[in-house]
A and B are shown apart, each in its own frame.
Chain A
């Protein structure tokens, strides 16, 4: 059937060609012999033909059934030449052909007016007969076209005799003559050679891959999309070699820690640059990778990509080496991620709907190593025996659990009944404690729920040759996994492209996102160098609360009402707190972008790109009057509390007076607003020409300017009365207290970012065999401060590629279908954290106690550093791309070496200049790495297909020059520290020698190399510390498989990471309170001499001996010892999904183009992690605030296309 079909087409084609040439020939003849005619008369055809036969000695051949010899024609009176004399036949519809002495006459085919017909059909692949979506179908020579839907079907209205051209990337182009048919099914063949024509988008240019010589990974949006994962940055996890994504917090809006090829700066942000549709995506607040784990409220707006609807993404390009990122010059040191969003397609409107319905699973104590209430109570009993819970101090504790409550009850005397809250008898106490010992509170159950997240996204794509339009909108609603958390997000995206004339194209892109989010109220985390800890007041993060709160405590009284314990001398119940202390976040992100392209000549193109983005975000921290934070300001029960409650106000003007309450009514209404306004304009010229088919040349020059203005403002609202109609009641003393403490109750700060750049890139390729590329860029920024020398920086790179497969010697084999060798060397840079190329001054108020003494003071924040410059690195990259067996198996290998220099690091100076610690460009860091990606279409048939992708990146870095001398404390913290000769962030430990045989107190090798329980953490003698390993994984990667059987597709993504160390949570202390939740390790603690031989879990020290420890902190040191380190490596089944696509017949029945249903499990299974973590997520450090771990999540996803 198909063969016949082809024959027919061929025949038809020849006929057409014949007629075409004939017409051409005739016309030219007429032109050649234009002569004057004297006259005509009517004559019978046969007699006229006979006359000519005689005159020119020719004979006529014709089919008498076609030509009526009796017809009358207008014959010339006088014969001139055979051609002109035969001309009159034409007006009668007779054509002639002179062959030698014979003239063949034919009835000419009448040119009839062509009729419009509608052609329908389906395009399939020749290889597996599968329908191919997205095939472009054009009517040849006319501006008319469409494309196939998801099921490969198309419909187009064309002229009856038109020729249709079927084309798709990766397939050979096919032409079909319609010839009046209304149904044309076509099969198209794979085109391996065309695969190499794939383009690479650098965000500036779309380059022919032959001309692209850098290391880059392209990911199709539809391939990496993880249904149910709303933040697009998390979709990259395990997908591209060399890109490591650590989920330090799973809360919506907080970005994961992303590194491309590891760290490049010691003090900088180390974040890749995000580029969306050619424009750098600025963050509203700059949050470095390190700050991500703080859990501060600002991390929620730290990720601008959180406003992108993942359904709008066409592709990701991850640019890794110096050549790939060259066009970003001095901002590209950390790699670039280019997102291209979807554009409208030529064809009738296609409407797509995606709906995701996810549920999060509650965490459970199985994954955490926390004592149950019975074991916990026995620990408390030991603490009580050892004198920790004595009546006097425990009853007055500012924070307390069951024991504090017990003593408070004993102290409470009810005058009416004449009874105490609890009788002070051993029996009564024991009964009281019994209840809490048996309660075994499941805080995870109380504070978490199996929530529902729903995401709806609708898009319409439509277009003609002249204009294409893509419109999408989405809605996301997460009603909250942890109590007090919820999110709503709306996005909209309009992307229009217009072909204004043959040489002018214009595009307009508008995107908008609105977010409303709720989180538990939080105040910023502050590092406390005195105790060597981070602390956060009033932390009510549900996750860290569940993790750190004793299971002996209860959320509800026996009568079901909420039970309170003491915190900050005020009653505290976590559920009450989550209701009364909230953070409301709103965000509006709007982007307007326009582009204009002009073809000046065939080879020269001018482009203009302009963009405006406006982001407004507001945080409202609402502390209602019943919140613990508000009540703490009012706790002044007795003189002891008055003296010790730090939230009361001691008036310096009245030194004898007791501290007083300054928040008599209401709570707090604290607001923080962030604004970002950015503008960008880019002019570029691109010259693209192929000379003699062998020399492909591309020259690109651009000039760019960027402005980003950021503003943050905050306000502390005192005494807001939420339940009294929202009226503030301000005690002037609370403002006086703030002013006297040099705390401003409101503030505003601006940041101005100005950027200018000029760039030139030249690419040349000889026959597509050898490519050469050179880029130079000149960047200017105001970020270093006002200085004419520091602000400019040139960067450059050269690269080349050899397409070995195009060589002759590769033509006689069919194993290797593609083989490219690449090499790059160049300089990249990035702006460091310092901005003091000129003197930095800032005003403040003098730090003096009395208002009469306070004046405005100008402080030198930083002295001028005239040598300040950008952080830079030289990078060498060698790459290899191989395709085997028609690219069914592909392999990409990249090896790189980076030499970072001029890195900014704080350096301790003599102080004589006036600034003891200065930021200077002096540190050096070397890193090297290897990236491997193996991809394969293992099976490909009509019913079965199996695709696989395995990738990993290995990165190792070493600081080679660092003058700063870290102290022991700097090195042993969980965030690690830089040290010369070691990785950029290394983790170090005090060496635990064992437990003291008499006391069970841990002993270490101290700074002098002696065994002791006393280590001076401020010492800079660090040679006795043990280096454990880097805190960033050396190896990260992913393994992705997708198997299709008929309409079912099953896929699984494994991710893995290895080579880093984690500091376990600091849980040991000289003393414990009845709030502490202790881990199960405590069961094996030292309790009797001899235990030190079998355990290294230290004893609980008794109160008397703890006085002997005064000034030494062996338990704190234990937290920083070799005993408290775990391996950070893990293997995780990140995602599994099973989807079912409806068959074409079913689709027809319900009237849609395509429909599929998937079930997805995200964060499915932690297959391997260090036993010491007891199943806890090695990526998540409990950091409080707004941070939450990534939960296990199940999603039902529905996709429909109409």
Chain B
């Protein structure tokens, strides 16, 4: 009997010790429990998907080259057809959607740890990065998958789910909310986050939201929100006064003198001062964009990259277009980083480094904001600063763009409109192959006509065409989110 008592005591003891026994993690997984680790998880709080393949194809920077290759990832967006593919198909909207939300979950994981930490001050820089990164991903989602911000209808237009909590169960429910709500949240995160950022905490600053990158993003955000004074404020915080000139790409000197591979390597390198924020993206864009059927063709070579601007002559980029023929015209901007499956495998995942925010964009945004606020002179100063790096053998005396030249070229437009048109014109060429044109197309409701090479097919995208809003992924629709109208 005594033995039984001992045994039952032993059993009871073992039950208690079981908890500790079973607390052992099953593998080498790590835990988010220190400031260093929180900083590391934030390195994955940036979308590792690429929006360029579909935004470029949908924009007016893509024309039919009449080649035989018809890749769906290039041709469906050009035709404004929804890509109802699985979310693991790279270079498609569903993949980008998933990548943005994945980045958001990393930010939320960091924020959750920070909120529960006993020493939150140690985490403050990370908190800043997490909030801004979360705002960025949501902003990109709302811009692509919802209508463009319109103060009149924003409080009723459906937005995208703004996620602030880490998902704990498989059947979590989400709601789209309104665009106004999403913008409110982005602004809130942005305002809270920017002051906390400390650039010196980053090991590779160009892949993180530094103060400069955060302000550059804020400038883009307020441009969409049509809060132009704030665009100027944040642009000034990014690059005070004329200092931005030193950060622009040296197209008319180093760039144009570089060979193909060197130029390609330089464009997305972190040592390039113009690159404010880079992110690695799983994409085949870098190896495919030259050969895609819908892209830079002879027509665009002369219009967008050519002399069709108030200057009357082409910028230096035109002479750096490579390719043996129109089928493969390209400006070398992306170098592929191929992550092989194993040491001697012949396949793996291709990555490109995508410049998410650049100095030129800050300049264009500031110029547009000045123009919108009626300060056309300031706008022109910015444009000329840009041109100082884009005109071959630039002369600060003879190569000045004047208000007169602008109004002459855009005959019939007000000065402000003409200045803005000029800005958009240069911006369009600057971001050839980079997909940013689409963001201006949706923001300003710029109409687009896509014509097939033989002119038999014409696709017109009017200012209020519902196809400007990319359809949300099929799984989200299945799980209860309202689809965008078609």
Contacts and interface: CB of A to CB of B under 8 A. Distances in A.
A913 interface: yes
Interface stretch (B98-106, B321-329, B461-469): B98-106
Interface in B352-400: 353
A911 B476 contact: yes
Q: Is the interface of A mostly helix, strand, loop or mixed?
A: loop
A841 B29 contact: yes
Contacts of B7: 606, 683, 685
Interface in B197-213: 203-204, 206-207
Contacts of B88: 916-917
Contacts of A716: 343
B25 interface: yes
A850 B351 CA distance: 12
Contact of A655 (B166, B172, B265): B265
Contacts of A846: 43, 204, 207, 280
Contacts of A1110: 68-69
Interface residues of A, number: 88
Contacts of B337: 652, 847-849
Interface in B94-133: 94, 97-98, 101-106, 108-109
Interface string B231-268: 00000000000000000000000000001011011000
Contacts of A780: 18, 22
A850 B22 contact: no
A858 B167 contact: no
B345 interface: yes
Contacts of A756: 14, 18, 21-22
B167 A606 contact: no
A753 B22 CA distance: 9
B448 interface: no
Given A526-B341, A857-B40, A914-B105, A863 B167 contact: yes
Contacts of A916: 87-88, 98, 102, 475
B481 interface: yes
A781 interface: yes
B22 A858 contact: no
A853 interface: yes
B169 A782 contact: no
Contacts of A858: 30, 32, 37, 40-41, 43-44
A853 B37 CA distance: 18
A524 B342 CA distance: 9
B342 A743 contact: yes
A112 interface: no
Contact of B105 (A655, A703, A788, A915): A915
Interface string A649-681: 000100110000000000000000000000000
Nearest to B23: A786
B27 A912 contact: no
Residue from A788, A835, A853, A861 whose CB has the most chain B CB atoms within 10 Å: A853
B70 interface: yes
B265 A911 contact: no
Contacts of B10: 683
B260 to A, nearest CB: 8
A445 interface: no
A754 B344 contact: no
Nearest to A844: B44
Given A528-B347, A848-B337, A860-B44, A840 B29 contact: yes
Size category, B interface = 35 or more
B87 A1018 contact: no
A784 B22 CA distance: 10
Contact of B22 (A526, A751, A754, A835): A754
Nearest to A598: B3
Contacts of B161: 912
B204 A855 contact: yes
B318 interface: no
Contacts of A859: 41, 44, 106
Contacts of B479: 909-910
A1026 interface: no
B414 interface: no
B40 A656 contact: no
B357 to A, nearest CB: 16
Interface in A748-789: 749-754, 756, 758, 780-786, 788
Interface stretch (A588-596, A723-731, A864-872): A864-872
A1058 to B, nearest CB: 36
Interface string B270-301: 10000000001000000000000000000000
Contact of A864 (B24, B25, B168, B478): B168
B151 interface: no
Contact of B280 (A791, A847, A1020): A847
Given A846-B207, A857-B40, A753 B29 contact: no
Interface in A465-497: none
B198 to A, nearest CB: 16
Contacts of A500: none
Nearest to A656: B261
A913 B206 contact: no
Contacts of A842: 28-30
Interface in B1-37: 3-4, 7, 10-11, 14-15, 18-19, 21-32, 37
A863 B40 CA distance: 17
Residue from B22, B28, B88, B109 whose CB has the most chain A CB atoms within 10 Å: B22
B303 interface: no
A535 B262 CA distance: 34
A907 interface: yes
Given A754-B21, A841-B32, A910 B174 contact: yes
Contacts of B270: 850, 852-853
A537 B346 contact: yes
B335 interface: yes
B169 to A, nearest CB: 5
A914 B204 contact: no
A150 to B, nearest CB: 43
Given A742-B339, A841-B32, A912-B161, A791 B476 contact: no
A784 B23 CA distance: 11
B86 A908 contact: yes
Given A526-B341, A752-B27, A914 B170 contact: no
B158 interface: no
Contact of B344 (A537, A788, A839, A922): A537
B323 to A, nearest CB: 18
A910 B31 contact: no
A782 B478 CA distance: 34
A685 B7 CA distance: 9
A856 interface: yes
Interface string A1038-1075: 00000000000000000000000000000000000000
Residue from B25, B86, B89, B343 whose CB has the most chain A CB atoms within 10 Å: B343
A652 B351 CA distance: 14
Contact of A1018 (B86, B94, B163): B86
A598 to B, nearest CB: 8
B343 A848 contact: no
A916 B170 CA distance: 10
Residue from A783, A863, A910 whose CB has the most chain B CB atoms within 10 Å: A910
Contacts of B102: 860, 911, 914-916
Contact of B43 (A524, A855, A865, A967): A855
B447 to A, nearest CB: 32
A791 B169 contact: no
B473 interface: yes
Q: Which 4 A-B pairs have the closest CB atoms?
A: A914-B105, A913-B167, A655-B261, A911-B98
Given A652-B265, A756-B21, 12 more contacts: A537-B346, A655-B264, A742-B339, A751-B27, A850-B269, A858-B32, A863-B167, A911-B97, A914-B102, A916-B475, A967-B86, A1020-B86
19 contacts: A535-B346, A535-B347, A538-B344, A600-B3, A780-B22, A848-B351, A849-B337, A856-B40, A858-B40, A865-B170, A908-B87, A910-B478, A912-B163, A912-B172, A913-B105, A913-B163, A916-B87, A920-B170, A1018-B89
